[in-house]
Structure 1
């Protein structure tokens, strides 16, 4: 599966030829540096390792500095491997021209962490009873969580209050509306997980007839 590492810039509106306003996300996709190329003979599988955004040497530990030095690269903030046997070699720069307009991509990110939340916000519960019947403190309560004597326990997976967000999420089949090749920007239809300036993985699965590769 082909892909790039990117950063969420923010959301905006896109007006198509018919004049419809489409909510979309602006993503800075690349440029990414090829750090390492893995093979079945040496590593047991095919993949390519990409790095995104330069990082200060003093903020990089020694093992990683040695890794970057081995492949003649400056330290990077984000590293990720894409599985597959690609044509590139270490040192190559991969830009947003990997994609085309109207491509469908899968975007992976970490959702916004919202702390400990109740059942109304976390699961969309409507609360218990009505305020007009003397229940002054039950409007956002979870209600019953299980039977009494049988089974005498709470089943695993019961929806209750707890930590919300802050998890890895994948949004599939998002359409690329426009590409800014000069600034390495993708305009993607819809929303993607994560806050502004959070890091994302943009993946694309090609048909057998599509001869596109990283190079």
Structure 2
């Protein structure tokens, strides 16, 4: 079966050394076993995709309709579900578990997660704007300044960079490299930083 991806929980960051002795920052992801719960096709659902259940849960705590959905695939109890788009759904089998062992070092993956929310932030922190002069009686240190263009057009254009919510957005890291795989502990070690805080759920998709 072709590897499609997996859902994992961010453990944290550390560092390792490459063959040249240089420090490489890495992120550890706990990729607990996921299971294929549904195979969607163009004929039945309008598109080809594989539905995967993750974050195990007792069947007694799952609603009856969801229990019936899981029984069709013989899957265990899961609290969360996600999808991976595929070209040929016939290559996959219902009820098969996906583990970290299906990945290999050097493999390129796409990682999607929610970035850390930092609340309301001003222009300097949110958009890396420069501040005003701090001396000579300046009254404009971190203020946004003018935001319009006078009587014409007489309004502020949509998308203007101003203060507002910083972070807490869906972020995708492309071509992240897997440096190490622990099949026994279901841990993936990926190069560089990944979105979100510790314990954040990450969607890891195989590219190519």
- Please indicate, yes or no, whether the TM-score normalized by the shorter chain is above 0.5: yes
Q: 2:196 aligns with which of 171, 194, 197?
A: 194
Q: Distance in 2 between matches of 1:114 and 1:188?
A: 24
Matched, 1:176 2:178: yes
The yes-or-no answer on 1:101 pairing with 2:127 is: no
Contact 2:101 2:182 in 1 (8 A): no
Task: Report the CA distance between 1:74 and its aligned residue.
Answer: 2.8
**Which residue of structure 2 aligns with residue 19 of structure 1?**
21
- d(CA) in 1 for partners of 2:165, 2:67: 36
Provide the rounded CA distance (Å) in 2 between the counterparts of 1:205 and 1:107: 10
Q: Structure 1 residue 34: deviation in Å? A: 1.3
CA distance in 1, matches of 2:5, 2:90: 11
SS in 2 for 1:132: coil
Higher mean C-alpha displacement, 184-193 vs 80-89: 80-89
Gaps of 5+ in 1: 207-215
Structure 2, gaps ≥5 residues long = none
Q: Quote the offset at 1:59 in angstroms.
A: 4.5
TM-score, normalization by structure 1: 0.87
CA-based RMSD of the aligned residues comes to 1.9
SS in 2 for 1:70: helix
Shift of 1:192: 0.9
Matches within 5 A, 1:23-102: 23-57=25-59, 59-84=61-86, 85-102=89-106
Q: Distance between the aligned counterparts of 2:18 and 2:184, measured in 1?
A: 21
In the alignment, which residue of structure 2 is the partner of 1:134?
137
Distance 1:62 1:119, change over 3 A: farther
Q: State the aligned residue count.
A: 204
Any conservation in 2 of the 1:127–1:143 contact (CA below 8 Å)? no
1:118 aligns to what?
A: 122
Q: 1:136-192 CA deviation, whole Å, 9 max, x = no partner?
A: 5x2211111122222211111110001111111101111111111111111111111
2:157 aligned residue: 155
Question: What TM-score results when the alignment is normalised by the length of structure 2?
Answer: 0.89
Q: CA–CA distance in 2 between the matches of 1:163 and 1:59?
A: 35
Between the aligned partners of 1:171 and 1:86, the Cα distance in structure 2 is 28
More moved, 157-166 vs 58-67: 58-67
